């Protein structure tokens, strides 16, 4: 598994999710025990549903543990102020249309695609746009391949 870059906040959020999942184990185990007491396990839907839920929870826990194990926290102090990097909010201008947009580069564990809080669109560092923006500097132009062709952005400022 590749090293996955995260901000400190993203790692803290994932650790909290892991704790919450681990805390659910005893509840599901109790449901399994209750269902087991009802008799014949071959025809016990509650038992099978609880066992399936526990198996899915364990798979999610293992996946999250592995992802956290391979994560590397980015220290913002190590990044030049004029470089786009994980956690950066950047204002860009579409060279063709002149339209300005703002993006926040987030870790790949944080977002699976795009998310927006109104003015700023969060972009995964592993997305085509995120990869184009990563390590770019103010004043630089980056090209992004999209389904309808290519977009060229000029990086106006890093906020």
pLDDT in tens, 4-13: 788 888 889 8
CA distance 34 to 27: 11
pTM of the prediction? 0.64
Ranges for all domains in the chain classified under CATH 1.10.287.180: 4-73
**Cross-strand partners of 104:** 89, 122
C-beta separation of 138 from 80 below 8 A: no
Q: How many CB atoms lie within 10 A of CB 21?
A: 15
The CATH class given to the 4-73 domain equals: mainly alpha
DSSP 44: -
C-beta separation of 38 from 44 below 8 A: yes
Ranges for all domains in the chain classified under CATH 3.10.50.30: 76-158
Structure confidence at residue 72 as a pLDDT band (50, 70, 90): confident
> What percent of the chain is modeled with pLDDT above 70?
92
Note the CATH number of domain 76-158. Answer: 3.10.50.30
């Amino acid at each position: 598994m590749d090293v996955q870059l995260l901000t400190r906040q993203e790692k803290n959020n994932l650790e909290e999710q892991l704790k919450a999942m681990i805390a659910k184990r005893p509840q599901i185990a109790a449901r399994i025990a209750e269902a087991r007491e009802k008799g014949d396990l071959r025809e016990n839907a509650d038992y099978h549903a609880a066992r399936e839920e526990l198996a899915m929870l364990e798979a999610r826990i293992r996946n999250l543990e592995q992802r956290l194990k391979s994560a590397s926290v980015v220290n913002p102090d190590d990044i030049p102020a004029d470089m786009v990097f994980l956690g950066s909010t950047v204002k860009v201008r579409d060279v063709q249309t002149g339209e300005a947009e703002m993006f926040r580069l987030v870790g790949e564990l944080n977002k699976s695609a795009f998310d927006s809080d109104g003015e700023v669109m969060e972009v995964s560092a592993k997305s085509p746009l995120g990869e184009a923006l990563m390590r770019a500097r103010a004043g630089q132009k980056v090209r992004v391949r999209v389904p309808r062709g290519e977009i060229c952005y000029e990086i106006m400022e890093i906020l």
